[in-house]
A and B are shown apart, each in its own frame.
Chain A
Amino acid sequence: MTSAQHSPTRTAVPRIAVPAWAWALALLALFALYLVAQDNGAVLASAGDVAHEFFHDARHSLGMPCH
């Protein structure tokens, strides 16, 4: 294990250029998950109730708080 003493240059893996839209998409995806999982009528009004009941099992089994 002579190579155990790492110098930062040894593991030089090139950076990936992350476009700004990647982070925007990640946020949008999280918001979509919020609508599916957590929204109890706050954004979607009555449609939220329908979504709530339809995705009820997923919310419980993924460990998200529910009534």
Chain B
Amino acid sequence: MAATLEEPRQQTAPRFGPLLGRFALAGLAGGAASGIWAMVVTERTITPALALEEARTAASHEHSEELFSRHTQLLGGFLGTVIAAVVFSVVVAAVFAGVRHRLPGRSDVGRVAVLAAIGFAVFALLPAIKIPANPPAVGDPDTIDTRTAIYIAVLGAGVVTALLVGALVGTLRSRGLHPSAVATAAVLATVALVTAMVLLVPDSPDSISADVPAAVVWDFRLASLGQLAVLWTTLGLTAGYLVDKLARRA
């Protein structure tokens, strides 16, 4: 029992029910912050893309009936972001509870931050490298199934990478390697696995048509990445704060 003397605050583990509640609350906070970003920042980069779509429709004399007004779609964008963030938080809660005793970090703030950073890397950074977000007016409807398969393959590869690197870190630490050596090995393994993913998973079949200015696509991709960064940062920091308080009370 000598080990627990160094960290007297974390002698007992919090129960899962209250933990899930804290994460869900953090998911709501992350979704709200990210949803506000969507309406204030991302929306500005969608507007030029929608103007392009309208110009195309007008040029081809087709009638496109819009199911929802732009305002309703903005509300849907906000709600969809909140739902996604809460879903992420529920999944992260289960994963956190499963691996908390193996995560690095002296407090739960640090441990949750590590997990949120992995979540951002897997669900935002990796897709941004391999199959980046596109504004409306860019995607080819005929390739949606292929692009969805690529997207899911990238997420799957990210999850596998996180599991393999986590297992590697656990093995090296249990053999008493110096933390800096473990960190170097983890970075090298991550670079190797991500490189393999980029090379092995096929590229998006879409090409961006000539009438779409590069700035429209670039601005949207940056806004989208920022939106996901706001989501994961808010989720991670809020959950870390709440779970830390819960664990100290337990």
Contact = CB atoms under 8 A, between A and B. Distances in A.
A36 B3 contact: no
A24 B240 CA distance: 23
Interface of B: 3-4, 6-7, 10-16, 19-20, 38, 42-43, 46, 66-68, 72-74, 76-81, 83-84, 86-87, 90-91, 93-95, 97-98, 100-101, 124, 127-128, 131-136, 139-141, 144, 147-148, 150-151, 173-174, 176, 178-179, 220, 223-225, 227-228
Contacts of B11: 14
B141 A67 contact: yes
Nearest to A49: B67
A15 B73 contact: no
Nearest to A67: B141
B38 A54 contact: no
Interface residues of A, number: 45
A14 B80 contact: no
Given A53-B73, A60-B133, A23 B140 contact: no
Interface in A13-38: 13-19, 22-23, 25-26, 29-30, 32-33, 36-38
28 contacts: A4-B179, A6-B176, A10-B3, A10-B6, A14-B10, A16-B16, A16-B101, A17-B13, A19-B16, A26-B91, A29-B91, A33-B83, A33-B87, A36-B80, A37-B80, A50-B67, A53-B66, A55-B77, A56-B73, A56-B77, A58-B38, A60-B134, A61-B38, A61-B133, A62-B224, A63-B127, A65-B151, A66-B134
A24 to B, nearest CB: 9
Given A12-B3, A16-B19, A30-B91, A61 B101 contact: no
Contact of A61 (B15, B77, B140): B77
A57 B124 CA distance: 16
A14 B14 CA distance: 9
Nearest to B91: A26
B3 A61 contact: no
A64 interface: yes
Contacts of B148: 38, 65
B132 A63 contact: yes
B97 A22 contact: yes
Contacts of A62: 80-81, 84, 133, 224, 227-228
A7 B176 contact: yes
